[in-house]
Amino acid sequence: MDNVLIVVDDLEAVKTFFLELGLVLEGETTVEGPMVGQLIGLKDVRATLAMLRTPDGQGIELDKFHTPEPVRFGPVDAPVNTMGIRRVMFAVENINAVVAHMLDHGAELIGEMNYENAYRLAYIRGPEGIIVGLAEQLG
């Protein structure tokens, strides 16, 4: 897998959220025109894209559509059991420090637990209701 796309309204806030999680900004650009529209099945497309990468190379692409107007489907703070892609999960070291850091930067803790003495897990919610899972392997 190369990347996962997340369409956002506040590109700067969401980008900052992922940068605080330790991703690195690979690049940012604006795309537009008929070829872009043909690829994604929309007309009159103009969007700003920010590509971020984890230290091991996995990608998160953030897109802010200027035209056509983006469509919100469901509430911003939809629960984890809402149908569709609901979260991305990252393997981290020192999960307690990562959670504390993200809470200091505006994230909301949804919940945390130990799973069978093998993993420490936490779910946090960031800007625009984005849910991120964090997993630290124990032992």
Full 3-state SS string of 36-87 = HHHHHCCCCCEEEEEEEECCCCCEEEEEEEEECCCCCCCCCCCCCCCCCCCE
For the entire predicted model, the pTM comes to 0.91
Give tens-digit pLDDT for 99-132: 999 999 999 999 999 999 999 999 999 999 999 9
Give tens-digit pLDDT for 62-86: 999 999 999 988 888 888 888 888 8
Closest to 36 (Cα-Cα) out of 47, 23, 26, 20: 47
